[in-house]
Structure 1
């Protein structure tokens, strides 16, 4: 795609990157065939090709309108288009550049600004989120349906974690909402890793990965969280931690980009690259271990929802399914498994109507094979799908944990 960036755009830190991405696009439109919002809305500007044109026009000096902002906001950042694109267009990076420029050149309505500010500050702080979640449970019956559905009626239980006792050590990202919404996920991960001879080194100072703020256009705040996590992990990395294990695929996708996002930061560039090189989705660690030797053969019929951040961002589609198949689980076929469930971080709160349509479509596909259980690999997807009040969904590692430690399931 031929481009002619304005003088103002040429002065942006990522100007060369934006121009390179724009020039890689050949207008083919294959991306629209797999874009969830284009499939739902049928509007060219609600597909990747249309959004690329909007960003191109903006960077070439044309006015930024509310329409520009609306169509960029509607993007899920699912990166399905990147999996489809024959030209290797790095759409998500261009979207980040475009959204930051839109934010700089426009003023959102007050209600929108307040919602986004609230999400940035509440979701990114685990203690704040836990307090608000507890308060929400107390008044759950009085809340609007759209918010009430997001709040589990009861706090989920978490079984004890094993003490660190093995020579092999890994770090683990606890995350921001997962300790409150799904506290047993990382516990289950720790127990399974322990059975495989791998101990988790605690790093309590590492919290939110930064993706929430970054993708709500508070990009500097998101990068500052990345720097704090790097600082929290660095002593253990220097002491020989072999990986940073991440059970939420959305967080994993972002941590793997630390090296790229902080490449201009002289103080953190090298450390960020090291952290990204060590970042592993939980399934990457489990896949390499003799897991099936420790467990009886499973007999359940399972449907797996593969999050976009696992299959499109991290390119690990099929990895969890492979582990579950090795353990004897019978996996059902899921129609349109490449499409997003509508969670997409805070998208289900900022774009609730589209998110609900995508959620219900995804649940229809997951439930069609009449599975005994449905599992996923990201707390955001898990929470969003569970908000429908249909088949209860858990993280796949909890399923594996119950197979390895059946006594926990009875308690």
Structure 2
């Protein structure tokens, strides 16, 4: 794609990065075939190729409009197009640049600004946990739309007390500990059974994704720096060998710290080291399989489990098939959707709140395919997907690590008696 950037952007970091990405695009349109919003709306400007043209026009000096921003807002940033693209166009980085520029040039209405501010401040605040507890205590009285965003209260069981020579950091996250505390505890128990101690650095809270993707990119970068500062002493001293992420949305963000902070002289090297140390929980499974095969009870081969691989895992991190293969090796009757397993479920961080008219049809479409399997439970790897899918079905939707936790034999887990049980 030929480009002629305006003087406003020609010699800037954003301009240089965007131009390099744009010039890889060959207009082939393969991306539109796998774009969820294009499939729903059928508008070229609601597909990756159309959005690339809009961003190109802005970078070349055309004044963006509210319509421009609407088309960029509708993008899920699922990055399915990156998996499809034969030319290696880094669309996710390009849309981040385009959104940041358009956000400055096209002011939002007071109502939109208020909602986005509430989301970026509220979800990442220490006050989110007590607010969630309050919501759970009156959950039955809430209107259906709000009730869908407030999961039933869950017990996390007991955190392992044993120490091991191998230690890994775990990002607690901002919303996951309040909405589904058992995910982190189950992660710690399973790793404990495999001889790995899980350590949480309390100062590392939100990974920065929420603010960054709500166009408070400066605020998101500050949260990334705070996480790096919290992890660095343990990583640099060798007291922790890796950072394990059990929410794929956080995982893809932490793995991009090196890119996002590459121009920060104080953090560039540390950010690159942190990104290199980041591991999605599923990436650990191959090396854990021998220990897990001896540590878990044999699962029922007749209990079908459906698996939804999040976009942040299969497209953002380019990790496909690993979780499915490992769980099948362990004996679980795991199946992916017979159709469209590559498509987004519509969660996409705060997207389900900001774009419900698109998020709900995508959720229902995904559940339609998953429920064809008649599963006892639906498994996934990201708190956003889990919460969003659960709002549309009575079938339990859970993180796959909880399944492994429940299958641990008492002999290998001193915390077994305190762990919650059951698929419901």
2:351 corresponds to: 347
Structure 2: distance between partners of 1:159 and 1:58: 52
1:293 corresponds to: 294
For the residue of structure 2 that corresponds to 1:244, the secondary structure is: strand
Q: CA RMSD in A?
A: 1.4
Between stretches 15-24 and 329-338, larger displacement belongs to 329-338
Residues 299-347 of structure 1: per-residue CA shift (max 9 Å, x gap)? 1311000000000011111111011101101123412100000000000
Structure 2: distance between partners of 1:80 and 1:87: 14
Q: TM-score normalized by structure 1?
A: 0.97
Aligned CA distance change for structure 1 residues 356 and 96 (closer, same or farther; 3 Å): same
Question: What is the aligned length?
Answer: 409
Segments of 5+ residues of structure 2 without an aligned counterpart are 411-416
Aligned CA distance change for structure 1 residues 58 and 410 (closer, same or farther; 3 Å): closer
Check the 8 A contact 1:164/1:201 in 2, yes or no.
Answer: no
For the residue of structure 1 that corresponds to 2:220, the secondary structure is: helix
2:414 corresponds to: none
2:204 corresponds to: 206
Aligned CA distance change for structure 1 residues 190 and 141 (closer, same or farther; 3 Å): closer
Structure 2: distance between partners of 1:231 and 1:88: 33
For the residue of structure 2 that corresponds to 1:24, the secondary structure is: coil
Is 2:318 the partner of 1:315?
yes
Equivalent positions of 1:362-373 (< 5 A) are 362-373=366-377
Check the 8 A contact 2:285/2:323 in 1, yes or no.
Answer: no
Check the 8 A contact 1:164/1:200 in 2, yes or no.
Answer: no
1:90 corresponds to: 90
Is 2:391 the partner of 1:387?
yes
Check the 8 A contact 1:253/1:309 in 2, yes or no.
Answer: yes
Structure 1: distance between partners of 2:276 and 2:336: 33
Structure 2: distance between partners of 1:142 and 1:161: 32
Check the 8 A contact 2:376/2:395 in 1, yes or no.
Answer: no
Structure 1: distance between partners of 2:421 and 2:174: 28
Check the 8 A contact 1:122/1:128 in 2, yes or no.
Answer: yes
Between stretches 55-64 and 142-151, larger displacement belongs to 142-151
Check the 8 A contact 1:46/1:74 in 2, yes or no.
Answer: yes
Structure 1: distance between partners of 2:157 and 2:97: 42
Q: Which runs of 4+ in 1 moved over 6 A?
A: none
Residues 278-318 of structure 1: per-residue CA shift (max 9 Å, x gap)? 00001111221222232232113110000000000111111
Equivalent positions of 1:5-404 (< 5 A) are 5-125=5-125, 127-140=126-139, 143-152=142-151, 154-240=152-238, 241-289=240-288, 290=290, 291-299=292-300, 300-334=303-337, 335-404=339-408
For the residue of structure 2 that corresponds to 1:112, the secondary structure is: helix
Structure 2: distance between partners of 1:228 and 1:62: 37
- How far 1:214 moved relative to its partner? 0.2
Aligned CA distance change for structure 1 residues 183 and 333 (closer, same or farther; 3 Å): closer
For the residue of structure 1 that corresponds to 2:23, the secondary structure is: helix
Segments of 5+ residues of structure 1 without an aligned counterpart are none
Residues 89-116 of structure 1: per-residue CA shift (max 9 Å, x gap)? 0000000000000011110011110000
Q: TM-score normalized by structure 2?
A: 0.94
Structure 1: distance between partners of 2:278 and 2:63: 40
